[in-house]
Amino acid sequence: MKFKAVIFDLFGTLVDDFATSVGQTYTELAKALQVPIDQFMPLWRQTTKMRSDGTFQTVEASIEHVCGIMGVRVGPEQMTKAVEIRLQQTRRALEPKPDAVATVARLKDEGYKLGLLSNCSIEIPILWPQTTFAHLFDSAIFSSRERLKKPDPRIYQLACEGLDVKPKDCLYIADGENHELAAAAKVGLHSVLIRNSSRDNGSELLREAREWQGAAISSLPEAITLLGIKDE
């Protein structure tokens, strides 16, 4: 079947899983805010859903929320430093996987419309234009901007509308978090699991990846073969 567009998930697909990339920077964040890491970390993790569903439209708002629960007032200099640490953390997480840029560029050269669809916090759309492959995409949809998250069917429809294509003309490539592949298929996209995540897929978040019986690839360059594109 001839497709007109390819829509990619971000984390675990084009870039590594966020948690794998951030290292010890949460300790740096707590230190900048002058709060105990053993109190800060659990509260920060509890805001994961709020950060990805658009509750916080600035980095400052998410930090203020957690510090407010702790009863800590953050000064301007502390906030500036904490925000920069968080943005640096996110920049590292946005480093593309090997072959990601080359694969996306090849699909672009072949005439495919390219979309990005990500459940993510507000830092991602803030920094996305600075990434090495943002210019290759025709549309990028972020849950924190749209206040919609996968597997909500409306966010897949937005992704297709952003490319001016029908769902049936789109390939959707993702690592299967939160049952995103089945949800995309229900909307009419053709879902493909990519098995290149560095995470242990024993987690509940990746149940779909473990049980997926549909089309699957093991690396991004395999998408080129899947689409029937001949070697140059």
Q: How many domains does the chain have?
A: 2
CATH number for the domain that contains residue 128: 3.40.50.1000
Q: Are 123 and 180 within one domain?
A: yes
pLDDT tens sequence across 149-177: 999 999 999 999 999 999 999 999 999 98
* Alpha carbons 156 and 158: distance in angstroms, whole number: 5
* Alpha carbons 22 and 11: distance in angstroms, whole number: 13
- Domain for residue 46, yes or no? yes
- Domain for residue 30, yes or no? yes
Q: Are 28 and 123 within one domain?
A: no
Give the residue numbers spanning the domain of 59.
19-93
* Alpha carbons 122 and 159: distance in angstroms, whole number: 18
| Global pTM value | 0.93
Count the Cβ atoms, other than its own, within 10 Å of residue 132.
12
Q: Are 56 and 107 within one domain?
A: no
pLDDT on residue 210: 79
- Domain for residue 232, yes or no? no
Q: Are 154 and 128 within one domain?
A: yes
Tell me what the mean pLDDT of segment 220-229 comes to. Answer: 95
Residue 200: is its pLDDT beyond 60? no
Return the CA Rg of the chain.
Answer: 18
Q: Are 63 and 166 within one domain?
A: no
Q: Are 12 and 24 within one domain?
A: no
* Alpha carbons 217 and 175: distance in angstroms, whole number: 10
pLDDT on residue 208: 74
Q: Are 132 and 85 within one domain?
A: no
Looking at 69, 93, 117, the residue that finishes a domain is 93
Beta-sheet pairing, 170-174 with 5-8: parallel
Looking at 43, 62, 93, the residue that finishes a domain is 93
